């Protein structure tokens, strides 16, 4: 019994030590990171969001921007990590939803004071996809109706001027 209790105490202490080891296992929102940047500065955080825009390869590294629906944050990563990204969000595509684990920097020394995350690992939570655009019929119809009105006004204007 005592041996078992000792084992659990060791596990508990180890757990607390892990938690205090500058690490936030649960995903933190961008708003939380921006509003409490000093608290999270230099700590390992987990951040989730959609890859948006361009994947910008810079030598052996790459920049991606990840938007969690509130703000987008720049992620600096090894370019090999970026290879797993299939879709970046734009008008025509929904970007991959990633979970990034990395060191949060309030004013990154390496990147001119930017607020960013230096990724250590990424995990694809949901793959992105192409967005198939369907013609909006009511908008199309409105275009034709207004075209008719425009032609009518144009004819009336020409008549008046003559």
* Binding residues vs another protein (CB under 8 A): 31, 34-35, 37-38, 52-58, 62-63, 65, 67, 71-72, 74, 76, 89-91, 106-107, 109, 111-116, 133, 135-136, 139-140, 142-143, 146-147, 149-150, 153-154, 156-157, 160-161
Find out whether 32 and 46 touch, Cβ atoms under 8 Å.
Answer: no
How far apart are CB 160 and another protein at their closest, in Å? 6
Q: Which residues contact 127 (CB under 8 A, 6 or more apart)?
A: 86, 87, 96, 97
Nearer to another protein, 82 or 122 (CB): 82
Residues of the chain by 3-state class (helix, strand, coil), percent to 5: 35, 35, 25
- Shortest Cβ 82–another protein spacing (Å): 10
Our CB check for another protein shows the closer of 3 and 140 to be 140
DSSP character at residue 133:
P
């Amino acid at each position: 019994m005592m041996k078992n209790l000792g084992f659990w105490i060791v596990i508990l202490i180890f757990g607390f030590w892990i938690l205090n080891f500058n690490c936030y296992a649960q995903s933190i929102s961008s708003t939380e990171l921006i509003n409490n940047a000093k608290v999270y500065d230099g700590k390992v955080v987990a951040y989730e969001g959609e890859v948006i825009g361009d994947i910008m390869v810079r030598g052996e590294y790459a920049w991606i921007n990840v938007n969690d629906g509130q703000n987008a944050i720049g992620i600096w990563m090894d370019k090999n990590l970026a290879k797993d990204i299939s879709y970046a969000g734009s008008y025509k595509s929904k970007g991959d939803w990633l979970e990034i684990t990395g060191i949060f920097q309030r004013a990154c020394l390496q990147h001119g004071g930017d607020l960013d995350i230096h990724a250590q690992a990424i995990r694809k939570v949901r793959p992105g996809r192409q967005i198939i655009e369907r013609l909006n019929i009511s908008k199309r119809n409105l275009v034709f109706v207004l075209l008719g009105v425009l032609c009518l006004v144009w004819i009336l204007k020409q008549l008046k001027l003559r």
